[in-house]
Amino acid sequence: MPHDDPRRALARLERWLLNEAYPVWTERGWDEKQGGFHERLTADGPVAADARRARVQLRQIYSFARAPALGWTEDTRGVVAEGLAHFFSRYRRPDGLARTLVAPDGSAADDTALLYDQAFALLAFAEAHRLLGSEGGLREAAEALLDRIYAVYQRSGWGFRSEGASERPLSSNPHMHLLEAALAWCTASEDERWRRLASYLVELALYYMIDPRTGVLREHFELDETERTGVAARLVEPGHQFEWAWLLLCAGGARGPDACRPGLAGQPRRAASPREMPAPLFDAAARLIEISEKHGVRDGVAVNSLLDDMTVHDPQARLWPQTERLKAHALMARLTGERRHWQLATEAAEALERYLDTGARGLWYDRHLPDGSFPREPSPASSFYHIVCAIGELASALDGAAPSPPAPALGRG
């Protein structure tokens, strides 16, 4: 069957987002009794017994803060403000870091502070700052949290710890979301520390995380000899490969001329096309996309994980890798104009639509099984952020203007 036109695919996704998803998650996704966003929804309502992760609260704040730019005409300022108030009162520890888990009654369930959650706090603060302006005090909150991140998580060598205690191997995933947050703040603040952080993380990815022989970005890096022998050291997640590719393209200045900053290692200031983008970023991103598309997409969906010999490790396909595939191809299509990337972006959009076809308004399937079926399970709120980002990226690629401010080209930090 031939694939649809990307504009028609976008129109269907936007109708679903604006007519189904935002209304349902506004009406039923917030706990009116205890406050905070629910972790999961079913057709009958929320799963109220779930403990609530900090990252879900922050992803929902981000998703609602982006809603006006994506065409949602209802007032989301109240939702975002309430979400932030709940986060600060329930999740912020006395030391300024965010705890990872809170019970449904609002009490602390796990006081551990993970770098992953701090990165999402920075991202949510950036998007909410764009919506609320200076009245929210979010720029100051983000700068204070950045200070704490450097004090608690930065290592003497390259990279950041995932937790406060020293541990190896290092995980690439928290660094990825920290880069996402730094890029968001580069366009929302004049504080040069955000650009330096983003530049540092890009170089960390290029020179420490990406295997120069295979072009694959490792899930874990700086491994010792013992750690290199385990399965965990061999894991490759196509979704993360696509996501890193998208971020590297954004960091190279793919968003356009409005973000004029020094290029990576003295490259040109403006990077609106592959010819103008720092070559290491574009080449690494293109290779990540090609590897993931060739080995990680089976039967039209991006599978959960491969091993480093490119054999399938986990053939299930969660929703979120489909959104990252869509983002990567949409941005590459916009940069290169290549028909192939438009076709693959459309294919990824159509694959995503299959996850949204649940028969229940505004909900989604989380898992696609190797036999082609979707288990009927509650829809995790954590996926909404991925869906929102993917639809926004496809709209940006087709319209030629990002719905959120463009990311800057970066200099060496």
Average pLDDT across the chain, whole number = 89
266: pLDDT strictly greater than 70: no
| 260 vs 311 pLDDT, higher one | 311
CA atoms within 13 A on the CB side of 373: 4
Rounded to the nearest 5 degrees, what angle is found at the Cα of 1, between the Cα atoms of 399 and 332? Answer: 30
| Number of neighbouring beta carbons within 10 Å of residue 189 | 17
pLDDT at 231: 84
pLDDT digits (tens, 9 = 90+) for 317-326: 999 999 999 9
- In this prediction the pTM is 0.92
- Stretch 139-159: mean pLDDT, rounded? 94
pLDDT at 407: 44
Cα(220)–Cα(164) distance, integer angstroms: 17
- Stretch 55-60: mean pLDDT, rounded? 98
Closest by CA to 13, choosing from 333, 393, 368, is 393
Helix (H) or strand (E) holding 327: helix 319-336
Cα(133)–Cα(158) distance, integer angstroms: 34
Cα(129)–Cα(131) distance, integer angstroms: 5
Confidence bin at 125 (pLDDT 50/70/90): very high
226: pLDDT strictly greater than 60: no
408: pLDDT strictly greater than 50: no
130: pLDDT strictly greater than 60: yes
Residues 6+ apart with CB under 8 A from 126: 138, 142, 181, 184, 185, 188
Class of domain 6-399: mainly alpha
Share of the chain above pLDDT 70, in %: 87
| 379 vs 252 pLDDT, higher one | 379
Confidence bin at 261 (pLDDT 50/70/90): very low
| 42 vs 218 pLDDT, higher one | 42
- Stretch 272-296: mean pLDDT, rounded? 86
- Stretch 128-152: mean pLDDT, rounded? 95
* Structure token pair of residue 314: 């986990």
395: pLDDT strictly greater than 90: yes
Residues composing the chain: 413
265: pLDDT strictly greater than 90: no
DSSP track, 250-282: HHTTTT-TTS--PPGGG--S--SSTTTS-HHHH
**Residue spans per domain, the chain:** 6-399
